[in-house]
Amino acid sequence: MSVSKSERILNLFFVLINSKRPIPRHEIRQRVNGYEECESETAFERMFERDKDELRNTGIKIDTVPVDPLFDDELGYQVDSKTFLTKTVEWTPSERAILSLASTTWHRTEFENLAKSATLKTGGSINVKSSDESTENYSGELLKFRSIMRSLNSKSIMDFRYVSFDDNEPKSRQVIPKKLYRQGDNWYFDAYELISTTWKTYQTSRIVGEIVIKPASVIELNLLKKDNNQTLPRTVQVEINQNASLISHITGGIAIGDRTIDFKFFDEKSFAKYLLRFSPIIVSIDNEAIREHYKNYLKDFMEVLSHD
Amino acid sequence: MTKNDRLSRLLLELPWLIQNKNTSIDNFCAQFDLSRDEANKDLSLLTYVGPGRFGGELVDIQYDDENISVIDSQGFDRPLKLNYIEAVLLLLGVRNLSEMSKDKQEILDIDNKLSGLIGSDIANEKYKEEYSNKKNRIKEAIANRKQLVIHYVDSNLKLTSERSITPIEIKALDSKEYLTALDNNSSQKRSFRLDRIIEVALVPLEASPQEITQNDIYSEKISVRTKSWNASNILDLNIPYTISGDELQIEMDLIDPEFLLEIILRLDIKTEIMCSKKMKSNLQKMLNDRIEAIL
pLDDT tens across the length of chain A (308 residues): 578 899 999 999 999 999 888 999 999 999 999 998 888 999 999 999 999 999 988 888 888 888 887 777 788 999 887 777 655 667 777 887 788 888 888 888 888 888 888 888 888 777 655 544 445 556 677 888 889 999 998 889 999 999 887 787 889 999 999 888 877 677 889 899 998 888 888 989 889 889 999 998 888 888 777 666 666 789 999 999 988 888 888 888 889 989 999 998 888 988 999 899 999 999 999 999 999 999 999 999 999 888 77
Q: What is the pLDDT of residue B216?
A: 45
Report DSSP letters for A201-268, one per residue.
EEEGGGEEEEEEEEPPPHHHHHHHHHT--PPPPEEEEEEESS-HHHHHHHHTSEE-SSSEEEEEES-H
On whether the CB atoms of residues A209 and A183 are closer than 8 A, the answer is no
> Phi and psi for A230 in degrees, rounded to 5?
-70, 145
Contact with chain A for residue B219, Cβ under 8 A: no
Q: Kindly list the distances between the CA atom of residue B148 and the CA atoms of B89, B136, B180, B201, B202, in Å, as whole numbers in the listed order.
A: 38, 13, 12, 6, 5
Q: What pLDDT shows up at residue B89?
A: 87
Closest CA to B263 of B248, B243, B278, B245: B248
Contact A242, B152 (CB under 8 A): no
pLDDT over threshold 70, residue B294: yes
Phi and psi torsions of B37, nearest 5°: -65, -45
Hey, are the CB atoms on A118 and B90 less than 8 Å from each other? yes
Q: Tell me the pLDDT tens digit for each residue of B232-279.
A: 888 778 788 998 888 999 998 876 788 889 899 999 888 999 988 888
Distance CA B85, CA A103 (A): 13
CB B79 within 8 A of CB A123: yes
Q: Please enumerate in sequence order all residues whose Cβ is within 8 A of that of A156, keeping only pairs 6 or more positions apart, or say none.
A: A150, A176, A213, A214, A215, A216
Q: What is the pLDDT of residues B36-78, one digit of tens each?
A: 999 999 999 999 999 988 778 899 999 988 899 999 999 887 7
Instruction: Enter the DSSP assignment of A84.
Output: B
| The pLDDT of residue B188 | 79
> Can you tell me the distance from the alpha carbon of B170 to that of B135, in angstroms, rounded to the nearest whole number?
9
Q: Which residues of A32-50 are buried (b: 16+ CB within 10 A; e: fewer)?
A: bbbbeeeeeeeebeebbee
What is the distance between the alpha carbons of residues A230 and A232, in angstroms, rounded to a whole number?
A: 6
Q: What percent of chain B has pLDDT over 90?
A: 25
pLDDT of residue A139: 67
Q: Kindly list the residues from chain B whose CB atom is less than 8 angstroms away from the CB atom of residue A163.
A: 227, 229
H or E element: which one contains A23? strand A23-24
Question: B205 falls in which pLDDT band (50, 70, 90)?
Answer: low
SS3 letters across chain B: CCHHHHHHHHHHHHHHHHHCCCEEHHHHHHHHCCCHHHHHHHHHHHCCCCCCCCHHHCCEEEECCCEEEEEECCCCCCCECCCHHHHHHHHHHHHHHHHHCCCHHHHHHHHHHHHHHCCCCCCCHHHHHHHHHHHHHHHHHHHCCEEEEEEEECCCCCECCCEEEEEEEEEEECCEEEEEEEECCCCEEEEEEHHHEEEEEEEECCCCCCCCCCCCCCCEEEEEEEEHHHHHHHHHHCCCEEEECCEEEEEEEECCHHHHHHHHHCCCCCCEEECCHHHHHHHHHHHHHHHHHCC
Q: B156 to chain A, minimum CA–CA distance in Å?
A: 6
Q: Do A9 and B20 touch (CB under 8 A)?
A: no
Contacts of A50 in chain B (CB under 8 A): none
Contact B248, B263 (CB under 8 A): no
Asked if the C-beta of B128 comes within 8 angstroms of chain A's C-beta atoms, the answer is: no
Amino acid A291: pLDDT: 95
Q: Name B164's bridge partners.
A: B149
- Mean pLDDT, all residues of chain B: 82
End-to-end CA distance of chain A: 90
The residues, any chain, with a CB within 8 Å of residue B145's CB and separated by 6 or more, are B205
Distance from CA of B213 to the nearest CA of A (A): 30
Higher pLDDT, B170 or B209: B170
Question: Residues near B23 by Cβ (< 8 Å), separated by ≥ 6?
Answer: B17, B67, B68
Fill in the amino acid letter for A196.
S
Is there a contact between B198 and A247 if contact means CB atoms under 8 Å apart?
A: yes
The answer, yes or no, to whether residue B97 has pLDDT greater than 60, is yes
* Radius of gyration of chain B, Cα coordinates, nearest whole angstrom: 27
**3-class SS of residue A1:** coil
Q: What is the pLDDT of residue A131?
A: 46
Taking the Cβ of residue B150 and every Cβ of chain A, the question of whether any pair is shorter than 8 Å is answered with: no
SS3 state at A79: strand
Is residue A239 within 8 Å of A260, Cβ to Cβ?
Answer: yes
Q: State how far Cα A289 lies from the chain centre.
A: 31
Per residue in B125-160, pLDDT (tens digit) is: 566 677 888 888 898 888 888 888 888 888 777 777
Distance from CA of A194 to the nearest CA of B (A): 23
Radius of gyration of chain A (CA): 26
Query: What pLDDT, on a 0 to 100 scale, did the predictor assign at position B2?
Result: 45
Set of chain A residues whose Cβ sits within 8 Å of the Cβ of B6: 6
Count of beta carbons in the 10 Å neighbourhood of residue A280: 20
Out of B31, B83, B95, name the one closest to residue A126 (CB): B31
Percent composition of chain A: helix, strand, coil (DSSP 3-state, to 5): 40, 25, 30
- State the complex-level ipTM: 0.75
* Distance between CA atoms of residues B235 and A23, nearest Å: 52
**Rounded to whole angstroms, how far apart are CA atoms A234 and B241?**
35
Q: Does the pLDDT at position B215 exceed 50?
A: no
Residue B10's pLDDT is what? Answer: 93
* Residue of chain B whose Cα is closest to the Cα of A164: B229
Nearest C-alpha in A relative to B106: A95
State yes or no: pLDDT of B16 exceeds 80. yes
Nearest Cα of chain A lies from the Cα of B216 at a distance, in angstroms, of 27
pTM of the model as a whole: 0.73
